[in-house]
Structure 1
Amino acid sequence: MGRTTADSGGPAASGPRPARGSDAPAPGTPGPRYKWVALSNTTLGVLIASINMSIMLIALPDIFRGIGVDPLQPGNTGLLLWLIMSYLVVTAVLVVSFGRLGDMYGRTRMYNLGFAVFTLFSVLLSVTWQHGTAGALWLIAMRILQGVGGAMLMANSSAILTDAFPAGQRGLALGLNQVAGITGSFVGLVLGGLLGPVDWRLVFLVSVPFGVFGTVWAYLKLRDTGVRTPARPDWWGNLTFAAGLIAVLTGITYGIQPYGGHTMGWGNPAVLAALAAGVALLTVFCVVETRVPEPMFRLGLFRIRAFTAGNLASLLASLGRGGLMFLLIIWLQGIWLPRHGYGFTETPLWAGIYMLPLTLGFLVAGPVSGWASDRFGARAFATGGMLLAGGTFVALQALPVDFSYPSFAMILLLNGIGMGLFAAPNRAAVMNSLPPDQRGVGAGISTTFQNSAMVLSIGIFFSLMIAGLAGALPHALTSGLTSRGVPAADAARVAALPPVSVLFASLLGYNPVQTLLGPHVLGQLPPGRAAYLTGREFFPQLISQPFADGLAVAFDFALAACLIAAVASLLRGGRYVHDDRPRTAVSRGTAPVAAAVERTAGTAGPPPDAAGHPGPPPPAPPPPPARNPRSP
């Protein structure tokens, strides 16, 4: 006799069930078009949330000029870092909490609220009236609150899609959604470069019409179709998790800033205290989650091999992807573009344009691999994608600093294809492994790993670059400046500045020599010599070799991350789809995990049927004898 599971992943309605392979929905479930409405709306939400992760990076020079702040002044480094990091930190910290609240009170309810919150604070960002430090602090506060809305969108979009699509179509749906999210981080670079020079307020205002449209559309069309778990909020779990993760990410943020006479701040007692406190609070969080009756973060989910391996691989892949984005921006803006005739003020926009092959690779590979993984499983695509991405880091190391762009573009295209091959199948495999009433918190956990990796990548890759620059950069600056007539005392002063100043200047598209020497020193030099020092050739040539040293160290780390992610993907086990049928006589809180690990973790579950629904679960105790009159 045929069996069906509602597209929502929730309990099937009573009454006759459609035959196997039928597209007809069960009574009480949304029609067949609903899943495409859900896909369209959640893809829009994830796209604008991820665009805002990176749109400020390229537009930072225009934003700081607009509010009258010099971000390279010693006291303003924290403002620069928190404008970059605040949105990322908030989305990393809150997605698990909002995912759990979605499981409890409705995923579309939390998602709709997220669209509205995100749109409101996008408006408030664009109407900033303060200047100076007050203006920067206002922007940071509004970015934090905008991140709250972004976290609501990210936490619930995958769960809404997993509810709406049958198992045999989730790879395609989640693949498109995931590719939109990852592509948005690169599209944001180009948008920031285009809009910032016109008016820095447009960087924030551009999200508003899409936010208003998405909010109304979601309110009118989306509905909760999945399993809802009535429960009380886990306040202690939320508090210890948020405080611990904020402490760790804050410590990493300040660890890359100079401290005393050191090039970085990893020896700063405040940084060490923040890291130690964060680890201690996260340890307390793990203890709390094993003792409360209704935990926010169900640690038992990590007994599912597909879930654990997929999240570990996602964390490492996101580390490599985030680090690559920052390294390429610095490489292009600080060295390659000026050496090829682009003014420093033009480099932010062109850096985003020259990185488009990376986005193209994602757009091509992501949907295709998601569709294919529905039929052949995720393991081969995810493992192969990580191996391909790792190979591109080897190829990038082989390029000279002043590379030929066609070779560079081909490597970026292959990296995007590799990341696209990995991202969509991996996300689908993680979501397929989850019990229906745990999809919100499970998606939140996955997004936390991804977003935390973006913050970690800044700390790790900046630290590796600074370590690589610290050895050769001071001597290169001293000899290069004195050979061009700069007084030895001024050259030594510039050479003694922390290497992070050079990295930030390159990231912002500022002329580093003009910024570091200042008008007083340049005014004492002959006009021709001063023009050469502040031109497009001197500084990029000066730092090319020290930069290459730092780049090699950073790419080695990215390669290692991709290889470990490939191993994790390989060890995820065979094809796994959680059986969505409701169980009876199960206790709240333990049933979802028990159902999820019912099959041996990592082993292949029964393949989906023609309609994409999961196959039958392991045999249950037989029901009372009954005979189907159509049975033989």
Structure 2
Amino acid sequence: MAVIDRVAGPSEQSSGPGPNYKWIALSNTTLGMLMATINSSIVLIALPDIFRGIGINPLEPGNTSYLLWMIMGFLVVTAVLVVGFGRLGDMYGRVRMYNLGFAVFTVASIFLWLTWQQGDAAALWLIGWRIVQGIGGAFLMANSSAILTDAFPQRQRGLALGINGVAAIAGSFFGLVIGGLLGPIDWKLVFLVSVPFGLFGTVWAYLKLRDTGERRPAKMDWWGNITFAVGLIAVLVGITYGIQPYGTSVMGWGSPTVLTCLIGGVIVLGAFVLIERRVANPLFTLSLFANRRFTLGNVANLLASLGRGGLQFVLIIWLQGIWLPQHGYSFQETPLWAGIYMLPLTVGFLVAAPISGVLCDRYGARWFATGGMLISAVSFLLLEILPINFGYVPFAAILLVNGLGMGLFSSPNRADIMNSLPGDARGAGAGMTATFQNAAMVLSIGFFFSLMIAGLSQNLPSVMKQGLLAHAVPAADASRIANLPPVGVLFAAFLGYNPIQELLGSTVGTLPPDQAAILTGHSFFPELISGPFADGLAAAFWFAVIACVVAAVASWFAGGRSAPSGEHESVGGELAAVSGEVTGMSEVVTDDEVPDRSSSRASAAAVPVAGLADAAAVPRAGHHAAEPAGQNAAADDDRRHAEAGELLGRLQAGSGAVGVDGVVTVTDRNGRQVARTSAVGGEYALHGLPPGTYTAVASAPGFRPAVTAVTLNGVGVVRDFALDGNGLVTGTVTASDGGVPIPEALVIATDARGQVVGRVQAGTDGTFRLAGLPSGATTVAASATDHEPSALTLSVQPGATSVADLVLSSTSGLLAGIVTGPDGAGLAGATVTALSPVGEVVGTVMTDGAGKYSFLGIPAGDYTVVASTFAPVTTSVEVPAGEAAQLDLQMGRPSVSQA
């Protein structure tokens, strides 16, 4: 059972949110997401200043782990914890968890700013508090989307999530510029900049944000949390150390430690999946993956994040290690200017993301999400063909196009994922989505660095050795330096150090001054590395192209189709109303399956009588049983806005989107009945309720009752009930001809009164599962394209599983035969045409060498068949449904036989 509480009253009350609350929620969560994501990247640019400030050279072998964990610590902890914190939000209140995250993040920022140590102690202190900062960021990321989804109606949800998503992704680019500006002034400012915003946001969140969504107290899934954290951390740590050299290998993918982390992590994650399938309150709601929109949306999000994260690192290395030094910038200046020169990427994203958010509310997510990924793929192709020493104008234009593509994708993708979630799973679902996105950032580092290192390792040693020998470096030193792992070169370029100066070390002092100046100047290293770097760059960009194309395909099959332009709410938003209000569904229906919502809306108003056992239900004036299809969106909006003293809503089957008849009873604190009304067609309405706190009970024949508390403070409330039964029906939909499974057949369950109580789409193997059905006689029907519908009636028992295997007969047939000549021999090359009763050509075929022809999959019906070579022959034939008709034609003497 679930209860969905959706609506605020017409004016703000001290105890509840007002009409402007959604904008307060949007502004605060946007500030939180912006702060969290800025801090995920601000350290990347400021790392040289941070390590200089604490007196550590991060390129020394013993300090590489400090470098990696300063980069990865924040990302790893947010990826691991965000889904658990989303689950805590569902259980204890999303705003409460979000507020805690703001406070934790701010406290961690203060302690980072207060760093006073030097050397190893300072590095460990910074890494530790960065992890704590990541914990606060995980609270913010896990619950911000769910808070917005609760606060905004479906018709505005894409805009809200789009703006929030802009902050989430643009923050990672803003962090590069802010870190580059503040780091050279004072490295501690990199952490201090978050403190005033954190303090303001924390106080503002505690004072203004309210939990408006459903809260479901439950036990914490500790085993799930532990196995998920251990498994994911092991995999991410394995990837982190896999890009470091091991023995004589340029990378550590063959290291026993790395293999242990990767294999062991996968095994532990496998155990996590088994645990989640058995616990009552799982950390990961695995059933959400039965929802095609949620699953494919997250696949697209993961791949897009891989491409976006990898692009960020590749561009930093490209600009800092090659392009900027070639154009006169010192290596110390490159971090700041790399952030500045990447601004077109941010501009494109900032322009496209809000616009696509607004448009996807009106026209659906499919075209925008798919188009955005295809545009991004094209931009990666353009970057691939761009010269290493490019002109800035085409480079900026390509970055702008990439930002536009990512922005077009981001808002519709995020809105479509959140709209597909049931109301009580939004926190967990948002956490799962954030996990994929954050894990993708760590994965992108592993993937792209591996591809870059593999490309560099092919040609860099020989090119490096020849270049060093040409400038008076001793052969022994040249060979030693040339054979160093390429990752050191990448890290040096990434951090804005002079790579050759770092590699030569004290050898620089033994060289002639003019040769030393050339080696450590602006041009030598960029020109040296340009060729080998191009090889790694090509591999990295081709990987990004493939990831974007696959994401586009996933987005196409995940996104909703467009709504008519005159409607206020898109089909995606319409589906969100169904999926957000109904829990326990076997599978959330897709947009292509959404029925006409001009369903019965007969409502009944109750006469409140305090202290009486019963109250007569009176039909509400002004409502009728059905509305024209063109008025659905407006009618839904009217129904969602309750006036003072009103309690409105809907009773819905837990596994179906259609309302069920039942009764809603309201009692006061002392258990006395205050009002009672019937829900006709699922709709109910109670009027004239005085302010106070009540208990509302919804019941319907064959369903478990649902109960919730309702507080009226001079405002109306719209509350829907999703009623669950105990029955389960499983089965398979197959074809009559051969028993082949029919994929994606639509299966509907109706009760004895003909009301829909379950709706699901069969899987690719033809199997289906309808859970939460009421007990009693139930009719299960299946339909599919080119097949006759089939149904059977069975008795659903509480707590038992019933099996309903449905066989569908094909509506098409087969017409075949032989065309012979006057001598009775098969006539090759004759033209055979089938015409419908109205004269339309259904098909035309040519006879083979033996005079045989056939029409496969022809619809059942009467046809006129014409065969021609010299003089045409015409006859008629009936093709039965699902059977074969034989029609032999002889030029001049047609004969018909049917079998």
Q: Is contact 2:90–2:426 with CA below 8 Å preserved after alignment?
A: yes
Q: C-alpha displacement at 1:522, in angstroms? A: 1.2
Q: C-alpha displacement at 1:578, in angstroms? A: 3.2
The aligned runs of 1:179-258 (5 Å cut-off) are 179-258=166-245
Q: Is contact 1:121–1:145 with CA below 8 Å preserved after alignment?
A: yes
Q: Is contact 1:383–1:566 with CA below 8 Å preserved after alignment?
A: yes
Q: Is contact 2:661–2:680 with CA below 8 Å preserved after alignment?
A: no
> 1 or 2, which has the higher strand percentage?
2
C-alpha distance in 1 between matches for 2:238 and 2:398 = 34
Q: C-alpha displacement at 1:599, in angstroms? A: 2.6
Q: Tell me which amino acid in the other structure corresponds to 1:176.
A: I
Q: Is contact 1:174–1:424 with CA below 8 Å preserved after alignment?
A: yes
Q: 546, 556, 562: which is aligned to 2:532?
A: 546
Q: Tell me which amino acid in the other structure corresponds to 2:543.
A: F
For 1:199, what is the secondary structure of its paired residue? coil
Spell out, residue by residue over 1:50-104, the C-alpha distance to the aligned partner (whole angstroms, 9 max, x if none). 0011000100000000000001101111110010000000000000000000000
C-alpha distance in 2 between matches for 1:312 and 1:510 = 37
Q: 563, 576, 594: which is aligned to 2:549?
A: 563
> 1 or 2, which has the higher helix percentage?
1
Residue of structure 1 equivalent to 2:28: 41
Q: 367, 377, 399: which is aligned to 1:390?
A: 377
Structure 1 residue 286 and structure 2 residue 325: aligned?
A: no
Q: Tell me which amino acid in the other structure corresponds to 1:409.
A: A
Spell out, residue by residue over 1:235-279, the C-alpha distance to the aligned partner (whole angstroms, 9 max, x if none). 111111111100000000000000001000000000000011110
Q: Tell me which amino acid in the other structure corresponds to 2:93.
A: G
Spell out, residue by residue over 1:20-63, the C-alpha distance to the aligned partner (whole angstroms, 9 max, x if none). xxx78999862110000000000000000000110001000000
The aligned runs of 1:329-478 (5 Å cut-off) are 329-478=316-465
Q: 609, 612, 615: which is aligned to 2:633?
A: 609
Residue of structure 1 equivalent to 2:523: 537
Residue of structure 2 equivalent to 1:503: 490
Q: C-alpha displacement at 1:612, in angstroms? A: 8.0
Q: Is contact 1:110–1:156 with CA below 8 Å preserved after alignment?
A: yes
How high is the TM-score relative to the length of structure 2? 0.65
Change (3 A) 1:581 1:453: closer
Spell out, residue by residue over 1:511-540, the C-alpha distance to the aligned partner (whole angstroms, 9 max, x if none). 00100001x211111111111110000110
> Which runs of no fewer than 5 residues in structure 1 stay unpaired?
1-8, 584-590
Q: Is contact 1:168–1:612 with CA below 8 Å preserved after alignment?
A: no
Residue of structure 2 equivalent to 1:523: 509
Q: Is contact 1:106–1:224 with CA below 8 Å preserved after alignment?
A: yes
Q: C-alpha displacement at 1:548, in angstroms? A: 0.5
How high is the TM-score relative to the length of structure 1? 0.92
Structure 1 residue 135 and structure 2 residue 122: aligned?
A: yes
Residue of structure 2 equivalent to 1:11: 5
Q: C-alpha displacement at 1:304, in angstroms? A: 0.8
Structure 1 residue 579 and structure 2 residue 618: aligned?
A: no
C-alpha distance in 1 between matches for 2:339 and 2:679 = 67
C-alpha distance in 1 between matches for 2:120 and 2:559 = 52
C-alpha distance in 2 between matches for 1:138 and 1:377 = 47
Spell out, residue by residue over 1:424-450, the C-alpha distance to the aligned partner (whole angstroms, 9 max, x if none). 000000000111111000000000000
C-alpha distance in 1 between matches for 2:476 and 2:443 = 37
Q: Is contact 1:63–1:200 with CA below 8 Å preserved after alignment?
A: yes
Q: 299, 305, 328: which is aligned to 1:312?
A: 299
Structure 1 residue 486 and structure 2 residue 473: aligned?
A: yes
Q: Tell me which amino acid in the other structure corresponds to 1:366.
A: A
> Which runs of no fewer than 5 residues in structure 2 stay unpaired?
561-570, 598-631, 641-649, 651-655, 663-677, 686-899
C-alpha distance in 2 between matches for 1:292 and 1:88 = 28
C-alpha distance in 2 between matches for 1:527 and 1:476 = 22
For 2:77, what is the secondary structure of its paired residue? helix
Spell out, residue by residue over 1:305-325, the C-alpha distance to the aligned partner (whole angstroms, 9 max, x if none). 110011000000000000000
Q: Is contact 1:386–1:565 with CA below 8 Å preserved after alignment?
A: yes
Structure 1 residue 594 and structure 2 residue 633: aligned?
A: no
Residue of structure 2 equivalent to 1:265: 252
For 1:592, what is the secondary structure of its paired residue? coil
Q: Tell me which amino acid in the other structure corresponds to 2:576.
A: H
C-alpha distance in 2 between matches for 1:325 and 1:242 = 26
Q: Tell me which amino acid in the other structure corresponds to 1:544.
A: S
Residue of structure 1 equivalent to 2:795: none
Change (3 A) 1:474 1:611: farther
Q: Is contact 2:16–2:210 with CA below 8 Å preserved after alignment?
A: no
Structure 1 residue 58 and structure 2 residue 81: aligned?
A: no
C-alpha distance in 1 between matches for 2:326 and 2:528 = 11
Q: Is contact 2:155–2:362 with CA below 8 Å preserved after alignment?
A: yes
Q: C-alpha displacement at 1:626, in angstroms? A: 6.6
C-alpha distance in 2 between matches for 1:48 and 1:275 = 32
Spell out, residue by residue over 1:326-383, the C-alpha distance to the aligned partner (whole angstroms, 9 max, x if none). 0000000000000000000000000000000000001000000000000000010000
C-alpha distance in 1 between matches for 2:594 and 2:183 = 50
Q: Is contact 2:420–2:580 with CA below 8 Å preserved after alignment?
A: no
Q: Tell me which amino acid in the other structure corresponds to 1:578.
A: A
Q: Tell me which amino acid in the other structure corresponds to 2:494.
A: L
C-alpha distance in 1 between matches for 2:91 and 2:368 = 34
For 2:576, what is the secondary structure of its paired residue? coil
C-alpha distance in 2 between matches for 1:477 and 1:148 = 43
C-alpha distance in 2 between matches for 1:230 and 1:626 = 31
Residue of structure 1 equivalent to 2:862: none
Residue of structure 2 equivalent to 1:620: 659
Q: C-alpha displacement at 1:592, in angstroms? A: 2.6
Residue of structure 1 equivalent to 2:694: none
The share of aligned pairs that are identical, in percent, is 64
Residue of structure 2 equivalent to 1:154: 141
For 2:353, what is the secondary structure of its paired residue? helix
Q: Is contact 2:301–2:551 with CA below 8 Å preserved after alignment?
A: yes
Q: Tell me which amino acid in the other structure corresponds to 2:583.
A: P
Q: Is contact 1:10–1:580 with CA below 8 Å preserved after alignment?
A: no
Residue of structure 1 equivalent to 2:778: none
C-alpha distance in 2 between matches for 1:582 and 1:404 = 50
Q: C-alpha displacement at 1:567, in angstroms? A: 0.4
Residue of structure 2 equivalent to 1:85: 72
Q: Tell me which amino acid in the other structure corresponds to 2:210.
A: R
C-alpha distance in 2 between matches for 1:12 and 1:561 = 37
Change (3 A) 1:230 1:602: farther
The aligned runs of 1:68-79 (5 Å cut-off) are 68-79=55-66
Spell out, residue by residue over 1:446-480, the C-alpha distance to the aligned partner (whole angstroms, 9 max, x if none). 00000000000000000000000000000010000
Change (3 A) 1:603 1:556: farther
Q: Is contact 1:154–1:444 with CA below 8 Å preserved after alignment?
A: yes
C-alpha distance in 1 between matches for 2:11 and 2:293 = 30
Structure 1 residue 297 and structure 2 residue 284: aligned?
A: yes
Q: Is contact 1:35–1:161 with CA below 8 Å preserved after alignment?
A: yes
Q: C-alpha displacement at 1:165, in angstroms? A: 0.1
